Amino acid sequence: MKAVEITEPGAMNVVERPMPVPGEDEVLLKLNYVGFCGSDLSTYLGKNPMVSYPRIPGHEIAAVIEQAGSRVPENFQPGQSVTVVPYTNCGQCSACKKKRFNACRYNQTLGVQRDGAMAEYLVVHWQKVLMDESLSSIQLALVEPLTVGFHAIDNARVSDIDTVLVFGCGMIGTGAIVRANLRGATVIAVDIDDSKLEVAGKLGANYLINSRTQDLHAELEKMTHGDGPSVVVEAAGNPITYKAAIEEIGFAGRVVCIGYAGDEVAFPTKLWVQKELEILGSRNANPSDFEAVIKYLKQANPDEKLLVSKIVSADEAPQAMKEWAEAPGKVLKILVLF
| Same-domain status, 98 and 156 | no
Whether residue 242 contacts residue 260, with contact meaning beta carbons closer than 8 Å, is answered with no
Is 241 a domain residue?
yes
Task: Answer yes or no: do 201 and 243 share one domain.
Answer: yes
Do 49 and 106 belong to one domain? yes
In a shared domain, residues 69 and 155: no
In-domain check, residue 303: no
Is residue 295 situated within a structural domain?
no
Q: Are residues 169 and 264 in the same domain?
A: yes
Indicate if 151 and 129 belong to the same structural domain: no
- Measured between alpha carbons, how far is 265 from 124 in angstroms, rounded to an integer? 38
Q: What is the CATH number of the domain that holds 322?
A: 3.90.180.10
Q: What pLDDT shows up at residue 31?
A: 98
Q: How many residues does the chain have?
A: 338
Does 288 reside within a domain? no
> Would 44 be classed as within a structural domain?
yes
290 found inside a domain? no
Considering the domain architecture, whether residues 153 and 125 belong to the same structural domain is answered as: no
Q: At a CB cut-off of 8 Å and minimum separation 6, what does 293 contact?
A: 143, 146, 147, 150, 175
The pLDDT value given to residue 263: 81
Report the alpha-carbon angle 116-120-121, nearest 5.
70
What's the confidence (pLDDT) of residue 195? 93
Residues 198 and 223 grouped into a single domain: yes
We report the CATH number of the domain holding residue 193 as 3.40.50.720
Give the pLDDT of residue 11.
Answer: 97
pLDDT at 62: 98
CA distance linking residue 39 with residue 337, whole number of Å: 19
Burial level of 281, CB count in 10 A (0-12/13-18/19+)?
exposed
pLDDT at position 53 is 97
Q: Residues 164, 126: one domain?
A: no
Do 126 and 181 belong together in one domain?
no
pLDDT in tens, the chain (338 residues): 999 999 999 999 999 999 999 999 999 999 999 999 989 999 999 988 889 999 999 999 999 999 999 999 999 999 999 999 999 999 999 999 999 999 999 999 999 999 999 999 999 999 999 999 999 999 999 999 999 999 999 999 999 999 999 999 999 999 999 999 999 999 999 999 999 999 999 999 999 999 999 999 999 999 999 999 999 999 999 999 999 999 999 999 999 999 888 788 888 889 999 999 999 999 999 999 999 999 999 999 999 889 999 999 999 999 999 999 998 877 899 999 99
SS3 of the chain: CEEEEEEECCEEEEEECCCCCCCCCEEEEEEEEEEECHHHHHHHHCCCCCCCCCECCCCEEEEEEEEECCCCCCCCCCCCEEEECCCCCCCCCHHHHCCCHHHCCCCCCECCCECCCCECEEEEEHHHEEECCCCCHHHHHHHHHHHHHHHHHHHCCCCCCCEEEEECCCHHHHHHHHHHHHCCCEEEEEECCHHHHHHHHHCCCCEEEECCCCCHHHHHHHHCCCCCCCEEEECCCCHHHHHHHHHHCCCCCEEEECCCCCCCCCCCHHHHHHHCCEEEECCCCCHHHHHHHHHHHHHHCCCHHHHCCEEEECCCHHHHHHHHHHCHHHCCCEEEEC
Is 167 domain-assigned? yes
CB contact at 8 A, 162 and 230: yes
Model pLDDT, residue 118: 98
Number of domains into which the chain is organized: 2
Rounded CA separation 321/257 (Å): 26
Closest C-alpha among 65, 146, 87, 115 to residue 308: 146
Q: Which residues pair with 338 in a beta bridge?
A: none
The model's pTM is 0.95
Which domain range does residue 163 map to?
A: 147-281
Own/partner long-range contacts of 189-193 (Cβ < 8 Å, ≥24 apart):
190/165, 190/166, 190/216, 190/241, 191/167, 191/236, 192/329, 193/169, 193/329, 193/330
Considering the domain architecture, whether residues 165 and 250 belong to the same structural domain is answered as yes
Question: Do residues 160 and 246 share a domain?
Answer: yes
> Is residue 300 in some structural domain?
no
